[in-house]
Amino acid sequence: MRRLDISQLNKETALKLLLNLMTIFSVFSIFFIILFLIKESLPFLKEKGLEMLFVDTWRPIAGKYGIIPLLLSSLLVSLLAILISGSIGIISATYLVEYANKKIAAIIRAITELLAGIPSVVYGFFGLMVIVKLVQITFDLASGETILAGAITLAIMTLPIIVSVACDAISSVPKEYREASLALGATKLQTIFRVVLPCSFRGILTGIILAFGRAIGETMAVVMVVGNVAQIPSILKPGEPITSAILLEMGEAAIGSMHYHALFTLGLILLLISLALCLLLNKIK
Amino acid sequence: MVICTSLLCLSFFSILFYILAGGLKSITYVHTEPIIGTLLLIALTLLISAPISVLTAIYLAEYSKEGKFVTFLRTCIDTLNSVPSIVYGLFGLAFFVTFLRFMTGGFSILSGALTLAIMVLPILIRVSEQAILAVPKEYREASLALGATKLQTIFRVVLPCSFRGILTGIILAMGRIAGESAPLIFTAAILNNLMPKSIFNPSPFLSTNLFFEATEGRISDAYATALVLLMMVLILDIITKLLWRKK
Amino acid sequence: MEEKIVVRNLNLWYGNMYILKNISLSIKENAITAIIGPSGCGKTSFIRTLNRMVDLIENARVSGEVIFEGKNIYDPDVDPVEIRRKIGMVFQKPNPFPMSIYDNVAFGLKINGIKDKERINKIVEESLRLTGLWYEVKDRLNENASKLSGGQQQRLCIARAIAVNPEVLLLDEPCSALDPISTDKIENLIKELKRKYTIVIVTHNMQQAARISDYTAFFLNGQLIEFNETKRMFENPRDPRTEAYITGRFG
């Protein structure tokens, strides 16, 4: 029998402890983040918590902390973005899986994945230079910095997610269903709309929710193009989503001031929305 | 249908070429300071995050048993993925910059790196775990049969074997770190192009510079920064894809 | 008896592979024609040429004629979708859609533009009655079809196929994935169905062919070796290869 080396044993125990410690760290990070956000939001919540929902303007200088315009801007710009990228994405995915030549489809999917890696600042820059101008010219506005510009920029950013997930969902529909449908005398289009798409619905929905989550949490791509006026939003006017407000105003807010805590509350709300979407995704799966 | 797909490709290429064109025209506006800043940031973030991630991945892959508890662990880690980047910025500001000022130097590259380290944890953990699980169990059995302990097997056989996979994850994370902007604005970034004095000082970065330059109207600078940043990220992405395929 | 489908000098290639070699035969109306032969002899490929399902295979090439209703179905101006409405198919593995029982049977009607709910209800009930499923499922038409047993699912697929009122039914080894009792039920069903439809059935089970079919075609290596009335083929095969197969010496 081999004699157990004591130093080896100590090393083993130490390393095992390290493994456990690191795992605990990784796992607890999320709780830690949530806790800290709550800690920094509490002062605002205690004093002005309710006001947040009922005051209709966001003007911290004047002491008004109504989050409704910010929340509505976030929702409007994200929903519009998903509407655009969802339609284009699902149709593209259908084309790629059902009609396109395999090689071309593979190339396009690779391009889509590269699109996914582009940093959000770059999207923002592109949006500022190109999309904003396009919106301005097309709709004859004084400035193109609008909810619409934000939505289009976010749509381009979220396209890869939707295309990728939709492609997977559509390809995983068993070919037996397609054969059965065609054998009954359905055209390819009928087969796609009545069998393939309904079958892949759950997968596609997952993609849409993921994309929505990204859109609503996105800061850089949207802050450069959306105009940043804290008002009740409409598509061709500027708006200010929650993310932009936090980014732009933190510089002005003194640490420890009510404004500072209000911004943290905004962050907390954003986090809660993202977590809720995460939960929803798990439920669907 | 074809129109939609072409729209898809069109957007990619138009972004690419637009920035390429603009950037090349203004190539003289490239500054070195933000590039150094970004590179330092990447190195520091990975230095902090990689060991933690790999060790966690080892735990998950080799020691944990499938069940409710492990699913809970994984869910906690994966949730980090859905935290918006600006919330990371807020957290970094409150914790690393303010609370731990004495350790990090307040507004500094270190604070930024610590914040981003948490952000890239889930990706690195997942990729490392996959790489470790992909090591065939025959290797482990052979090692154990020779009298090695589990830990020795892990560090002498499994890890070297999964090295390439882990490297792929690291390069993937590099791209993400380089592209992040919002968290850095709250923890580490300055507007002027001054070389950072140490990791305990703030610094300019490519990503944050792009934002400042674009919004202040310094368009030529912005184009140049965008070009460098985009090229960096795309090259890292392509390397990642090539490594992935070779596996 | 009238000839429903006439096959003349049919050849099929998948790329460079020569699958069906110069097949000529005729399918008689309101009769059951069985296609038998060992694995890989081309029976499934043959049946798929009859309703242009081979079009779905990437490098498939067909030469020769398949005459149905006076026209070669491979003529360039013939719409394969129309053909498939008149020549239906049931597959080896039951493949009901992941929808309700009702929606499965009604599918073919809806794609043909039939919107009248009353009419659809009527046809669904008729089809389910014809396949003997009605009493088993009439109280749970909205249940998902995947909850049915294998034999029930296959009968559902047959009901789905006959709901569009085809002239011909192609059955590709419909019982090979089923247990003996379901097989028995379906064989009886097929015998009933021949009164209304012309039936072509591929089977690797010779006894089944002998039991239920009127005509039998024996394929080997992509060639049609013998085609005759079932009784005559089994009692007195003309070709020695047919005899060898039937007596079980191979296959």
For range A55-83, the mean pLDDT: 90
What SS3 state is found at A168?
A: helix
* Chain C CB contacts of A185 below 8 Å: 81-86, 88, 108, 111-112, 164
* Chain A CB contacts of C160 below 8 Å: 180, 184
Return all residues near B226 (Cβ < 8 A) that are at least 6 apart. Answer: A122, A125, B19, B22, B23, B210
Q: Is any Cβ of chain B less than 8 angstroms from the Cβ of A222?
A: no
pLDDT at B209 exceeding the cut of 80? yes
CB A225 within 8 A of CB A149: yes
Q: What is the DSSP letter of B60?
A: I
pLDDT at A1 exceeding the cut of 70? no
Residue B128 to residue B58: CA distance in whole angstroms: 8
Closest CA to A121 of C183, B182, B245: B182
Domain containing residue C35: CATH number = 3.40.50.300
Residue C225 within a domain: yes
A/B interface, count of CB pairs below 8 Å: 221
β-pair type (C60-68, C3-14): antiparallel
Out of A183, A186, A187, closest to residue C53 by CB? A183
Phi then psi dihedrals of residue C225, to 5 deg: -85, -45
Q: What is the DSSP letter of C201?
A: E
What SS3 state is found at C62?
A: strand
pLDDT at C98 exceeding the cut of 90? no
Residue C155 to residue C137: CA distance in whole angstroms: 11
CB C212 within 8 A of CB C190: yes
pLDDT at B88 exceeding the cut of 90? yes
Distances in Å between the Cα of B162 and the Cα atoms of A147, B130, C54 are 46, 9, 46
Residue C251 within a domain: no
Residue of chain B nearest A243, judged by CA positions = B86
Residue B174 to residue B113: CA distance in whole angstroms: 12
Out of B4, B88, B234, closest to residue A114 by CB? B234
3-state secondary structure string, A119-143?
Answer: CHHHHHHHHHHHHHHHHHHHHCCCC
pLDDT at B112: 94
CB contact under 8 A, C108 and A176: no
Q: Is any Cβ of chain A less than 8 angstroms from the Cβ of B121?
A: yes
CB contact under 8 A, A23 and B60: yes
Angle, helices B109-133/B33-58, rounded to nearest 10 degrees: 40
CB C89 within 8 A of CB C37: no
Q: Is any Cβ of chain A less than 8 angstroms from the Cβ of B5?
A: yes
Out of C84, C96, C99, closest to residue A183 by CB? C84
CB C168 within 8 A of CB C87: yes
Paired tokens of A251: 């510089």
CB A70 within 8 A of CB A269: no
Residue B144 to residue B162: CA distance in whole angstroms: 18
CB contact under 8 A, A271 and B84: yes
Residue of chain A nearest B55, judged by CA positions = A19
Closest CA to B212 of A270, A241, A128: A128
CB A225 within 8 A of CB A153: yes
What SS3 state is found at C165?
A: coil
- pLDDT tens for A112-140 read 888 888 999 999 999 999 899 999 999 98
% of chain A surpassing 90 pLDDT: 58
For range C58-77, the mean pLDDT: 92
pLDDT at C95 exceeding the cut of 70? yes
The structural domains of chain A, with segments of one domain joined by +, span 2-49, 53-284
For range C175-181, the mean pLDDT: 88
Q: Which of C78, C89, C93 to mutate to test the interface with A (most CBs of A within 10 A)?
A: C89
Distances in Å between the Cα of A204 and the Cα atoms of A91, A164, A208, A280 are 11, 10, 6, 14
What SS3 state is found at C83?
A: helix
Residue B155 to residue B170: CA distance in whole angstroms: 18
For range B188-210, the mean pLDDT: 89
The answer, yes or no, to whether C and B have at least 3 beta-carbon pairs within 8 Å is no
Torsion from C-alpha of A168, A169, A172, A174, nearest 10 degrees:
-150
The domain tally of chain C equals 1
Distances in Å between the Cα of B202 and the Cα atoms of A150, B33, B187 are 30, 12, 8
How far does the CA of residue B199 sit from the closest CA of chain A (Å)?
22
CB contact under 8 A, C160 and A184: yes
* Chain C CB contacts of A199 below 8 Å: 98
Q: Write down the residue that tokens 């001054």 correspond to.
A: B194
When mean pLDDT is compared over A79-88, A111-120, C53-62, the highest value belongs to: A79-88
Return all residues near A224 (Cβ < 8 A) that are at least 6 apart. Answer: A124, A125, A127, A128, B211, B214, B215
| Residue B58: how many other CB atoms lie within 10 Å | 24
* Chain B CB contacts of A113 below 8 Å: 237, 241
Out of A177, A180, A187, closest to residue C81 by CB? A187
- pLDDT tens for C218-237 read 999 999 999 999 999 999 98
Residue of chain B nearest A34, judged by CA positions = B91
* Chain C CB contacts of A194 below 8 Å: 107, 110-111
- pLDDT tens for B1-46 read 777 777 777 777 777 777 777 777 777 788 888 999 999 999 999 9
Of A61-70, A259-268, C23-32, least confident by mean pLDDT is A61-70
Q: Is any Cβ of chain A less than 8 angstroms from the Cβ of C93?
A: yes
CB contact under 8 A, B2 and A95: yes
* Chain A CB contacts of C84 below 8 Å: 182-185
Q: How confident is the model at residue A5 (pLDDT cuts 50, 70, 90)?
A: low
Q: Is any Cβ of chain B less than 8 angstroms from the Cβ of A106?
A: no
- pLDDT tens for B115-154 read 999 999 999 999 999 999 998 888 888 888 877 778 888 8
CB contact under 8 A, C56 and A182: yes
CB contact under 8 A, A246 and B86: yes
Phi then psi dihedrals of residue B42, to 5 deg: -60, -50
Per CATH, the architecture of A53-284 is what? Orthogonal Bundle (1.10)
ipTM, two decimals, is 0.89
Q: Is any Cβ of chain B less than 8 angstroms from the Cβ of A118?
A: yes
* Chain A CB contacts of B53 below 8 Å: 26
Residues 94-133 of C with CB under 8 A from A: 95-99, 107-108, 110-112
pLDDT at B75: 86
What SS3 state is found at A265?
A: helix
For range A8-18, the mean pLDDT: 81
* Chain B CB contacts of A16 below 8 Å: 151
pTM: 0.84
pLDDT at A3: 52
| Per-chain mean pLDDT for chain C | 91
pLDDT at C251: 57
Closest CA to C34 of C234, C248, C251: C234
The whole domain housing C28 covers 3-246
CA angle A231, A233, A235 (to 5 degrees): 145
Q: Is any Cβ of chain A less than 8 angstroms from the Cβ of C17?
A: no
pLDDT at A4: 56
